[in-house]
Structures are given as C-alpha cells and as structure tokens.
C-alpha cells in the first residue's frame, strides 16, 4: 500500500514544485492521507520516515482539502508531514489536484512546500545520488530549483554539469569488466564515441545490457550522453525546459533500474565493482 517507494511517496519526496504527477485514475485528497514517505528531518539532520496527514478543520482553522472544491479529484489541500522518528518536525505541502482532457486524465502537483524545496537540506533520492559526486548533487539540486521557476537556460546548464559524472558512472557500471556482456557493452560504447553512429550503437549494445534495460537502455544512454554537448545558446527557453525534463526523468529511470538490478543480484560487490543481472 502506501509504503515509502510507492509512486505517491516519490511524488511527495522528490517532485519539484508544479511538476505534474499524472495517472489515469482520479487521485483524491484522501489518497494522500496517512501516506508514508521519507524526508529530511531538520531537527535530527537525517532522512527519516514521515507520514502525511490532512489537518482537521478544527485544528488551525484549515478546512479539510476535500471541501475546498466541488469534485473529489479537483482539490487544493494543505497537508502536514510529521517525522515519525522525533514526532516533532513537520513539513507542509500544498497539493493541487486537477483533471484534463488529455491522458493522463488526472494529475496532482505540489504548489507549495514549507520549508521550501530549495533548502540545502533537500535530499536527492538515494538511487540518483549514488551516481553523482558532491558537485553533481549540488548541481542537480540547483537544476531542480531553476526548473521550479521555469528558468530554462539555467536548468539545462545545471543538469549538464550535474550529469557529467553521472553518465560516466552509469557507463562504468554497465561496462563491468568482470562479465563478458560488460566488456562487449564497453566495446560498443567506445565505437560509438569514435563513429557517432546511433543506430549501430543501439543494435550493438542492447544484447549486452541487463534484462530490464534492454528495451530502452541504449537509446536513453544516447540521449543522456548527447545532452552533454547541447548548445544552450541555440535553444529557446521552452526547448531548454523540455530537454531538462527529459534529462531528469531519463537519468532517474536509468539510475533506478541499475540500482534495482544491483539489489536483485545475489552476488555482492567485488573489488568495488557492481555486478548486474544478465540473462
């Protein structure tokens, strides 16, 4: 159910303000009530389990979110997230639910958060942070802050800086020299760096990717790799935002899949190298 790691929890934990979380099922304020998620507790200076609650109408004079609008999936609600470890530290999230004509028909987005998400305490999801160095993490945060304010060029500039190492680490992990598939993948990637032939890379690399990355992995790597050479001056603000959102979601997708692969494998780390599952 609502355990940390479910997608609604991820929405609270890591979606930037105004970023839409869409579904084809209506999401109501009640679906967020009692939601478990992980967040940085400023009091304990650590990531802790939190639980979300809808403040009652007799609490601070705030009305239950569901009453603010006529239909259940169109709501604006002020939710309180309470740290389950100390029971004292609280965050406030303002969530707006709406529906559109186009699929996904229903979406929610955060339209406010206190403390503000740009606080340096904002934590990147673990699986993402693992693939970034300190600079990378800082840049990734700054990219997300710029994205909140729709600063296209700034967002893209920070994402480019953030993922330089990230992509190297992803490639390194997939090029595991202890497995035959890993070496073949490394070969395919090196040829691509020389000849720049995308289709050939996708064909050559795909058979040597772990099972869960076979479908999209190679293409995503190309998009991420090529993002590093994007020329921001030649793009409009809107194009920068679009590219930035692609980078963000593709980088998250890749790092999640890889971490899941590593967790699935029964083998442990050897000499600091990860093993991935290959069929």
**CA separation for the pair 159, 136 (Å, rounded):** 9
Least separation in angstroms between residue 7's CB and Zn ion is 24
Which stretches of the chain bind Zn ion, using CB under 5 A? 41, 43-44, 48, 83, 85-86, 89
CB atoms near residue 216 (< 10 Å): 17
Dmax (CA) for the chain in angstroms is: 67
**CA separation for the pair 193, 185 (Å, rounded):** 12
Least separation in angstroms between residue 40's CB and Zn ion is 9
Least separation in angstroms between residue 239's CB and Zn ion is 41
CB nearer Zn ion, residue 22 or residue 49: 49
Contact in structure between 237 and 188 (CB atoms under 8 Å): no
Cis peptide preceding 115, ω within 30 of 0: yes
Contact in structure between 31 and 8 (CB atoms under 8 Å): yes
CB nearer Zn ion, residue 46 or residue 203: 46
CB nearer Zn ion, residue 81 or residue 152: 81
CB nearer Zn ion, residue 86 or residue 270: 86
Least separation in angstroms between residue 41's CB and Zn ion is 3
CB nearer Zn ion, residue 43 or residue 198: 43
- Please tell me whether residue 191 adopts helix, strand or coil conformation: helix
Q: What's the start-to-end Cα distance of the chain, in Å?
A: 31
CB nearer Zn ion, residue 50 or residue 131: 50
Least separation in angstroms between residue 83's CB and Zn ion is 3
**CA separation for the pair 224, 253 (Å, rounded):** 11
CB nearer Zn ion, residue 43 or residue 216: 43
Least separation in angstroms between residue 85's CB and Zn ion is 4
Phi, psi of 52 (to 5 degrees): -95, 140
DSSP E strands, the chain: 21-23, 36-41, 46-53, 75-83, 90-99, 106-114
165: left (phi over 0), alpha (psi -120 to 50) or beta: alpha
Least separation in angstroms between residue 39's CB and Zn ion is 9
Q: Which of 207, 203, 181 is nearest to 192 (CA)?
A: 203
């Amino acid at each position: 159910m609502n355990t940390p790691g479910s997608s609604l929890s991820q929405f609270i934990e890591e979606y930037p303000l105004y970023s839409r979380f869409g579904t084809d099922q209506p999401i109501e304020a009640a679906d967020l009530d009692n939601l478990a998620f992980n967040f940085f507790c400023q009091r304990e200076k650590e990531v802790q389990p939190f639980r979300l609650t809808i403040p009652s109408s007799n609490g601070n004079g705030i009305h239950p979110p569901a009453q603010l609008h006529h239909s259940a999936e169109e709501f604006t609600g002020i939710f309180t997230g309470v740290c389950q470890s100390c029971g004292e530290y609280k965050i406030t999230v303002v969530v707006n639910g709406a529906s559109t004509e186009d699929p996904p028909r229903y979406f929610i987005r955060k339209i406010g958060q206190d403390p503000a998400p740009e606080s340096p305490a904002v934590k990147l999801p673990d699986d993402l942070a693992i693939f970034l160095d300190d600079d990378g993490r800082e840049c990734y945060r700054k990219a997300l802050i710029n994205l909140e304010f729709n600063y296209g060029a700034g967002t893209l500039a920070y994402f480019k800086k953030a993922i330089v190492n990230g992509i190297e680490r992803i490639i390194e992990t997939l090029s595991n020299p202890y497995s035959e598939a890993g070496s073949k993948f490394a070969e395919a990637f090196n040829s691509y760096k020389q000849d720049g032939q995308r289709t050939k890379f996708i064909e050559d690399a795909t058979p040597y990717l772990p099972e869960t990355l076979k479908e999209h992995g190679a293409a995503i790597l190309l998009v991420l790799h090529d993002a590093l050479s994007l020329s921001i001056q030649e793009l409009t603000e809107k194009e920068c935002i679009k590219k930035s959102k692609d980078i963000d979601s593709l980088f998250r997708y890749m790092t999640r899949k890889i971490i899941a692969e590593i967790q699935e494998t029964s083998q442990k780390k050897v000499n600091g190298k990860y093993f991935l599952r290959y069929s």
